[in-house]
Amino acid sequence: MTTQDAPASPVKPADIDFSPRRKSRGFWSEALRDLVTRRRSGQVGLIIVLSMIAVALLAPTLATHPPNMVLIGKEEGVKRRQPPCIHAVDNLPSLPIVDFFRCEPGQPEHYFGTDGNARDLYSRVLFGARVSLKAGIYTVTLAILVGMVLGAVAGYVGSFTDNALMRILDVVLAFPSLILAIAINSALLTVADDSIFSRGLELMQRVFGFEDIGLLTALISIAIVSIPTYARLVRSQVLSLKEQEFVTAARSIGARDSRILFRAILPNAMAPLIVAATLGIATAILDTAALSFLGLGAQPPTAEWGAMIGAERNQMFTSPHLIIFPALAIVVTVLGFNLLGDGLRDSLDPRMKNR
Amino acid sequence: MTKYIVQRILAALPVLFGILFVTFALARLLPGDPCVAMLGEKANEVTCAAFNIRYGLDKPILQQFVIYLGDVLTGDLGMSFRYGQPVTRMVSERLAVTIELAFSAMIFAVSVGMTLGIISAKRHNSATDVFTMISANLGVSIPVFVLGLFLAYIFAILLKDTPFALPPSGRLSAGMAVTSFADKLNLSEGDPLYRVAQFFTNLYFVNAIVNLDGKLFVDSAKHMILPAIALGTIPMAIIARMTRSSLLEVLGQDYTRTARAKGLTERVVLLRHALRNAMLPVVTIIGLSLGFLLSGAVLTETIFGFSGMGRALYDGITSRDYAVIQGFTLVVAVIFLVINLVVDILYGFLDPRIRLS
């Protein structure tokens, strides 16, 4: 900390050297270092998550075809539900995994085959990373923003406000989450073309950059359903932090409630919230995929992994590649966020230090 | 203990009221004309006025809520306009399948999950432990519908014509005879007990045991294995992780050392002293998993072609059958509430500190 940043205080003993002997790292960079160097699950998770983000960003470059283009009539010899075909493996020895991608010479090359509408599956799976990551991150952001405010207010104000807010959240928790999400989603879909609600939806569509209204309503419903988790977490943190001495200190120098809450308490409640958010992204991706699989979330032609599996689920026995690739994409992505969350939990927990 | 139980039940009542309010609000408070939604092209001013009077939609919203409460309490959940049946009747026919599914999945999750967790904790940091934890991490990352499809593919296609082949869909084989309890008891359709008898008839495991019908038991078990595994894998993985970490913590406690120092066998130390104390967080997870099982039932039943609650909910969504969505959401939420109440009470039973605080 340089002297310019320090709060102006009346007494400044300039002759005393406060600089620490060893350059100390902050809590966050310490935790990040711990995660990258010592947590095996954190390392694997971080690598998976970063590569998924890379895939999402580079999807237009990596893709071989436009994801929504029906190739019939545009490409010689293309068929619906064509099995995977990579000509580079033609000369490799026969192995089950290699044979899976082998095909007749002259057949158009599609790394993961084509789907029921003769679209390139590989390109769709790549673009699916964009949809799923966006859905996961937006859902959790939305849920945390609301949950954090509710939980912080409940925990800080206490008494009647706390009781009232928590009972309302209890009701949301009383529903099995996916079923409530389904119910909210189908209700939202019916209002999508009506009054103020549709204006709100349109606004969110523009803010989030989503064309697919079904995906947007799915995202909102999953966010609503997961608000209580974050609200409870923040509340419990606030409850224990507000008794701490630094809060009393802040109050004694005359800080306003909002300042105490947002500048003193909440920053200290961040660590468990970040862990919950990372694990929450995994859950949100799973739930979005589940809703889309049921036909409620992403609508055609959006390339969403769950929707891709849902559309072709009856072809499992004849064209398993249509299920395998989107399924692998979901599993790997969700696994990545789960591992990263586990690693973060260990790294951010002071008790786990040196373990 | 009685005081504790009464307290828990009283605490659940406002939540029950909240559930009723939410299911009501989901259907009524949203904009959009229910008349147009219900009648479609037949909706005009005259039919809509009649429709509103018939369903009480012309009354103030609070009064509508009271009417709704009255309907629900008397067991009237409205009519499904797709099936033309009362929703209550559909629930009574389909509930059994879902209960059996959730129950089987839970048995799988608890038995396999706890065994894996105990083995992992006992051989901490061994290859077995690492392998188990990797599988547990994979387990929580696989969507129910993906696992279901793959299990069906493996056991119905790849293992076809082997003794391990299992059917990929349906609750029973075609042409399987089921003894109806209603017929046995000579109940007619109008009888109030008829629905109850039908419900127990559809609990095929119970039915097979009561009627000593071995063929029915084996057949229904065969159809249940894959769905139960598909649905139970995520809770199984969570339970395995929870058992392991909870047991590891307990094994580091002083009283475990004391037990060992007394010269007790490792088996007694592990199962009697450690596991018992490690169970509390596991019970919590089991309770929480039930909500997941009910959610997951929608996906599992859709994949494996069970005509249970979840499947009806899915059909209700695709055909915009609001009474079904509303009614089934309500029933599932109430079941979930009751289960959580039981878990809460069980918790107080296991840990005296909780019921006395």
ipTM of model: 0.83
**Is A317's CB within 8 Å of B153's CB?**
yes
> In Å, how far is B213's CA from the nearest CA of chain A?
33
Which of B100, B33, B91, B22 lies closest to B327 in space, CA to CA? Answer: B91
Please give the helix or strand (H or E) that residue B86 lies within, else none: strand B85-86
Chain A CB within 8 Å of residue B248 CB: no
CB atoms within 10 A of CB A131: 28
Q: In a 3-state reduction of DSSP, which class is residue A120?
A: strand
100-159 of B, contacting A, C-beta below 8 A: 137-138, 140-146, 149-150, 152-153, 156-157
**Is A179's CB within 8 Å of B27's CB?**
no
**Is A293's CB within 8 Å of B299's CB?**
yes
> Residues near B276 by Cβ (< 8 Å), separated by ≥ 6?
none
Structure token digits, residue B38: 């219900």
Residue-wise pLDDT tens digits, B299-346: 899 889 888 888 888 787 777 677 787 888 888 888 888 888 888 887
Q: How does the average pLDDT of chain B come out, rounded?
A: 82
Distance, in Å, from the CA atom of A166 to the CA atom of A147, rounded to the nearest integer, reads 11
CB atoms within 10 A of CB A257: 10
Chain A CB within 8 Å of residue B264 CB: no
User: pLDDT band for position B273 (50/70/90)?
Assistant: confident
**B252 vs A304 pLDDT, higher one:** A304
Residue-wise pLDDT tens digits, A163-197: 888 888 888 888 888 888 888 887 777 665 556 66
> Residues near B138 by Cβ (< 8 Å), separated by ≥ 6?
A331, A335, B237
Question: Locate tokens 């958010």: which residue?
Answer: A277
Please give the helix or strand (H or E) that residue B80 lies within, else none: strand B79-80
**Is A174's CB within 8 Å of B18's CB?**
yes
User: pLDDT band for position A12 (50/70/90)?
Assistant: low
Angle between helices B322-350 and A177-191 (to 10 degrees): 150
**Which pLDDT score is estimated for A289?**
93
With beta carbons under 8 A apart, name residues in chain A contacting B329.
175, 179-180, 182-183
32-91 of B, contacting A, C-beta below 8 A: 32, 37
User: pLDDT band for position A116 (50/70/90)?
Assistant: confident
CB atoms within 10 A of CB A351: 7
What is the share, in percent, of chain B residues with pLDDT greater than 90? 13
Angle between helices A213-241 and A195-208 (to 10 degrees): 80
For residue B301, give the chain A residue with the closest CA: A294
For residue A291, give the chain B residue with the closest CA: B299
Structure token digits, residue B41: 């092209």
User: pLDDT band for position A3 (50/70/90)?
Assistant: very low
Q: Given B26, B37, B142, which is nearest A183 (Cβ)?
A: B26
Q: How many CB pairs under 8 A join A and B?
A: 141
What is the residue-wise DSSP string for B176-230? -----HHHHTT--TTSHHHHHHHHHHH-HHHHHHHTT-HHHHHHHHHHHHHHHHH
CA distances to A174, B61, B333 from A177, in Å: 8, 27, 10
Chain A CB within 8 Å of residue B193 CB: no
> B80: which strand partners?
B85
> A114: which strand partners?
A120
Instruction: Pick left, alpha or beta for residue A24 (phi over 0 → left; psi -120 to 50 → alpha; otherwise beta).
Output: beta
Query: How far from chain centre, in Å, is Cα B107?
Result: 12
Per-position b or e across B218-256, b if 16+ CB within 10 A of its CB? ebbeebbebbbbbbbbbbbbbbbbbbbbbbbebbeeeeb
194-233 of B, contacting A, C-beta below 8 A: none
**Which pLDDT score is estimated for A21?**
54
With beta carbons under 8 A apart, name residues in chain A contacting B325.
182-183, 186
User: ∠B294-B298-B304 over CA atoms, to 5°?
Assistant: 120
14-33 of B, contacting A, C-beta below 8 A: 14-15, 18-19, 21-23, 26-27, 30-32
Dihedral sign computed on CA atoms, order B239, B240, B241, B247 = positive
Distance, in Å, from the CA atom of B102 to the CA atom of B121, rounded to the nearest integer, reads 27
Q: Do A10 and A327 meet the contact criterion of CB atoms below 8 Å apart?
A: no
**Which pLDDT score is estimated for A13?**
52
Distance, in Å, from the CA atom of B242 to the CA atom of B238, rounded to the nearest integer, reads 6
Q: Do B207 and B201 meet the contact criterion of CB atoms below 8 Å apart?
A: yes
Residue-wise pLDDT tens digits, A236-258: 888 888 888 888 888 888 888 88
Residue B85 phi/psi, 5° resolution? -120, 155
**Is A174's CB within 8 Å of B336's CB?**
yes
Q: In a 3-state reduction of DSSP, which class is residue B79?
A: strand
Structure token digits, residue B287: 């309770």
Q: How many helices (H) and strands (E) does chain A have?
A: 14, 0
Q: In a 3-state reduction of DSSP, which class is residue A187?
A: helix
Q: Given A178, A187, A310, which is nearest B30 (Cβ)?
A: A187
Distance, in Å, from the CA atom of A174 to the CA atom of B294, rounded to the nearest integer, reads 12
Reported pTM: 0.85
Is residue B23 over pLDDT 80?
yes
Q: Is the peptide bond before A301 cis (omega within 30 degrees of 0)?
A: yes
**Which pLDDT score is estimated for A2?**
44
**Which pLDDT score is estimated for A9?**
52
With beta carbons under 8 A apart, name residues in chain B contacting A295.
317-318
Instruction: Pick left, alpha or beta for residue B120 (phi over 0 → left; psi -120 to 50 → alpha; otherwise beta).
Output: alpha
**Is A175's CB within 8 Å of B19's CB?**
yes
Q: Do B343 and B102 meet the contact criterion of CB atoms below 8 Å apart?
A: no
Is residue B288 over pLDDT 80?
no
CA distances to A135, A216, B334 from A278, in Å: 13, 20, 31
With beta carbons under 8 A apart, name residues in chain B contacting A178.
295-296, 298
Residue-wise pLDDT tens digits, B194-248: 878 888 888 888 888 888 888 888 888 889 999 999 999 999 999 998 898 888 8
What is the share, in percent, of chain A residues with pLDDT greater than 90? 25
